Amino acid sequence: MADKLWTKNVQMTQEIEKFTIGRDREMDLYLAPYDVLGSMAHITMLQTIGLLTADELQLLLKELRKIYDETLNGSFVIEEGVEDVHSQVELMLTRRLGDIGKKIHSGRSRNDQVLVDLKLFIRDQIRELATLTLNLFNELIAQSNRYKDVLMPGYTHLQVAMPSSFGLWFGAYAESLVDDMQYLLAAWKITNRNPLGSAAGYGSSFPLNRQLTTDLLGFDSMDYNVVYAQMGRGKTERNVAFSMASIAGTIAKMAFDACMFSNQNFAFVKLPDNCTTGSSIMPHKKNPDVFELTRAKCNKLQALPQTITLIMNNLPSGYFRDLQIIKEAFLPAFDELKDCLKMSAYIIEKMKVNEHILDNPIYDNMFSVEEVNRLAKDGMPFRDAYKKVGLDIEAGQFTPDKHIHHTHEGSIGNLCNDRITALMQQIADGFQFQKMDQAIQALLATGDPTPLLS
């Protein structure tokens, strides 16, 4: 069994060790490549302040690049008896390089180490979420444009209300994703600040160059105050979780609509056959299980911010082991949301709409407001027009005019999809992922990464 990084003379009991480690070894596999990147930046900085020689740095960087590759190809494991990913990486370096491997922890704590790991992990996950959200957005805009002239009933209180259109329906969820992307961009900006160098939350007596590690890892800035950097643990995850919950809320609502509208009593849309499931007893069934599961998964994701809040809400400043438990809820949530985004985009792209819904006379009365507005436009007072049309409906004498002529922004005849698309692109451009990519590529390149920062 490997010694813990903090081991002195007293060994803890196996029961206590099992309880305190919990699922950390499993969860830390999500963070493994990012722990390596953080270490590479940290030791590069250590060499500039004289805590490593140039030769020691190159030996360490070479081995860390090998370990990084192992984290990507699946051969990296956190061994039994090793407490976490930080311990495993240091153990591997020490086995391969001897005492040189023991030098990498100078000037840092596992507290700021896991903070930077989490932020690097979150950055990559936000990039994937942004890409997948944009993909779903594009499918929704495409369907909105494709079916922009096909009318459908709009509902209030789940009662037939006024004319809507598939252009509006698809486009509404597209624009909802624009606001979700704005929230995700805010989460990105909060995340993209460097906590490394805050150590256990109170800084270090070593003359650390925190700006250098900030640049090496492609952060926009650092978390300047070392106490606040530590206070960011839990807060960062909660803020990101709120942005994820926002996306999940949009998808859950859309999934509910899709399930309802594909019901035979509505028959507004048809889901692709290969996206439905059957019944063990009823041979005619085509169940929208994918959207039902999507709805459930997204509803669960909307509880994530509250889960994180309840774990860290009553903690004072400083580090507490409570924060470890956040990983178990937070880290796997990204894969779940990404799956929901992928499935939704796939089905939306293949969804077919019923272009003859309004042939059914049960929808005739939803054109009543159009008639009221026509009469008002011709000079009849609105309240009189309202009463006349209402009496005509009660008497069975209302004949609808189903030709809709809306022109104001965002209405049936003027969807503004071009403006919605431009707004989404403006937000997407705000992430500037290329800065992060360039820094990480320089860090992984052979040689000294510091000259590549200029």
Instruction: Per-residue pLDDT tens, the chain, 454 aa: give them.
Output: 455 554 555 566 777 777 776 777 888 999 999 999 999 999 999 999 999 999 999 999 999 999 999 999 999 999 988 889 999 999 999 999 999 999 999 999 999 999 999 999 999 999 999 999 999 999 999 999 999 999 999 999 999 999 999 999 999 999 999 999 999 999 999 999 999 999 999 999 999 999 999 999 999 999 999 999 999 999 999 999 999 999 999 999 999 999 999 999 999 999 888 888 887 888 888 888 999 999 999 999 999 999 999 999 889 998 888 899 999 999 999 999 999 999 999 999 999 999 999 999 999 999 999 999 999 999 999 999 999 999 999 999 999 999 998 999 999 999 999 999 999 999 999 999 999 999 999 999 976 666 555 4
Coil vs helix vs strand at 193: strand
Q: Are residues 85 and 187 in the same domain?
A: no
d(CA 244, CA 226): 27
Q: Please report the pLDDT score of residue 275 as a whole number.
A: 81
Residue 285 forms part of a structural domain: yes
Last residue of a domain, one of 106, 125, 157: 106
Within a 10 A sphere around the Cβ of 314, how many other Cβ atoms? 8
What DSSP string runs through 145-172?
HHTTT-EEEEEETTEEEEEEEHHHHHHH
d(CA 339, CA 448): 38
Q: Are residues 88 and 201 in the same domain?
A: no
Within a 10 A sphere around the Cβ of 259, how many other Cβ atoms? 19
Residue 170, domain CATH: 1.20.200.10
Q: Please report the pLDDT score of residue 9 as a whole number.
A: 53
Q: Give one word for 411, left, alpha or beta, with left for phi > 0 and alpha for psi -120 to 50.
A: beta
Residue 95 forms part of a structural domain: yes
Q: What share of the chain is helix, strand, coil (3-state, %, to 5)?
A: 65, 5, 30
Q: Please report the pLDDT score of residue 2 as a whole number.
A: 52
Last residue of a domain, one of 70, 91, 106: 106
Last residue of a domain, one of 49, 72, 106: 106
In the chain, the number of structural domains is 3
Residue 89 forms part of a structural domain: yes
Q: Are residues 67 and 90 in the same domain?
A: yes
Q: Are residues 193 and 230 in the same domain?
A: yes
Q: Are residues 373 and 393 in the same domain?
A: yes
Q: Are residues 145 and 57 in the same domain?
A: no
- pTM here is 0.92
| 405 catalytic per annotation | no
Q: Are residues 178 and 299 in the same domain?
A: yes
What backbone torsions phi and psi does residue 193 show, to the nearest 5 degrees? -135, 140
Strands (E) across 195-331 are located at 221-222, 269-270
Q: Are residues 69 and 165 in the same domain?
A: no
Within a 10 A sphere around the Cβ of 261, how many other Cβ atoms? 21
Q: Are residues 136 and 190 in the same domain?
A: yes
Residue 354 forms part of a structural domain: yes
Answer whether 108's CB lies under 8 Å from 204's CB: yes
Select which of 75, 86, 157, 408 is catalytic.
Answer: 157
Segments forming the whole domain that contains residue 392: 366-410
Counting every residue, how long is the chain? 454
Cβ-Cβ contacts under 8 Å for 346 (sequence gap 6 or more): 275
Q: Are residues 288 and 246 in the same domain?
A: yes
Q: Are residues 398 and 305 in the same domain?
A: no
d(CA 60, CA 80): 24
Residue 211 forms part of a structural domain: no
**Dihedral of alpha carbons 364, 368, 369, 372, sign:** positive
Q: Are residues 102 and 114 in the same domain?
A: no
Within a 10 A sphere around the Cβ of 334, how many other Cβ atoms? 20
One-letter amino acid at 319 equals: Y
Answer whether 348's CB lies under 8 Å from 138's CB: no
Return the structure tokens found at 173: 């969820």
d(CA 196, CA 193): 9
Select which of 109, 198, 204, 279 is catalytic.
Answer: 279
d(CA 265, CA 299): 25
- Alpha carbon distances (Å) from 155 to 42, 312, 357: 58, 41, 14
Residue 426 forms part of a structural domain: yes
Cβ-Cβ contacts under 8 Å for 109 (sequence gap 6 or more): 199, 200, 201
Q: Please report the pLDDT score of residue 4 as a whole number.
A: 54
| 86 catalytic per annotation | no
Residue 42, domain CATH: 1.10.275.10
What DSSP string runs through 289-318?
HHHHHHHHHHHHHTTHHHHHHHHHTT--SS
Within a 10 A sphere around the Cβ of 16, how many other Cβ atoms? 9
Residue 448 forms part of a structural domain: no
Cβ-Cβ contacts under 8 Å for 349 (sequence gap 6 or more): 139, 142, 143
What does R_g of the chain's alpha carbons equal in angstroms?
28
Residue 306 forms part of a structural domain: yes
